[in-house]
Chain A
Amino acid sequence: MSSDLPSDLSPAAAAASDHSTSVSNPPSLLRLFVAFAKMSLAGFGGVLVWARRGIVDEHKWMTADEFNETFALCHFLPGPNIVNLTFVFGSRLRGLPGSIAAFSGLVGPPALIMVVMGALYHRYGEIDALRRILSGVACAAIGLMLAVVLRMMMPLFKRRDVIGLLTLVATFIAIGVFRLPLASVLLVAIPLSIAVTFAMRRKEAA
Chain B
Amino acid sequence: MNSDANPVLTLALTFALMSLFAVGGANSAIPEMHRVAVDVHHWLTDKQFTDVYAIAQLSPGPNVLIVTLIGYSVAGLAGALVATLAMCVPTALLALFVSRFLARSSHTRWPSIVQTALVPLSIGLMGASGFILARTSDRTVVAVLVTVCAAVLASVTKLNPLWMLVAGGCLGFAGLIG
Q: Which positions 159-173 of chain B face chain A at CB distance < 8 Å?
A: 160-162, 164-165, 167-173
Instruction: Map CB proximity to A onto B56-76 as digits: 1 under 8 Å, 0 otherwise.
Output: 111111111100110011000
- Within 8 Å by CB of A114, from B39, B61, B144, lies B61
User: How many of A's residues come within 8 Å of B, CB to CB?
Assistant: 96
> What chain B residues lie within 8 Å of A175 (beta carbons)?
31-32, 124-125, 128
Quick check: B53 and A197 within 8 Å, CB to CB?
Answer: no
| A106 at interface, CB cutoff 8 A | yes
CA distance A138 to B17 in the complex (A): 27
Quick check: A111 and B84 within 8 Å, CB to CB?
Answer: yes
B103 → A minimal CB distance (Å)? 5
A87 → B minimal CB distance (Å)? 4
Quick check: A144 and B173 within 8 Å, CB to CB?
Answer: no
Given the contacts A142-B138, A156-B120, A176-B127, A147 and B25 also touching, CB distance less than 8 Å: no
Interface of chain B, main secondary structure: helix
- Within 8 Å by CB of B54, from A141, A167, A172, lies A141
> What chain B residues lie within 8 Å of A172 (beta carbons)?
124-125, 127-128, 131
B15 → A minimal CB distance (Å)? 11
The residue of chain A having its C-beta at the shortest distance from the C-beta of B104 within the complex is: A18
- The interface of chain A, by Cβ under 8 A from chain B, is 18-20, 40-47, 70, 72-88, 91, 99, 103, 106-107, 109-111, 113-115, 117-119, 121-122, 125, 129, 131-153, 156, 161, 164-165, 167-172, 175-177, 179, 181-183, 186, 189-190, 193-194, 196-198, 201
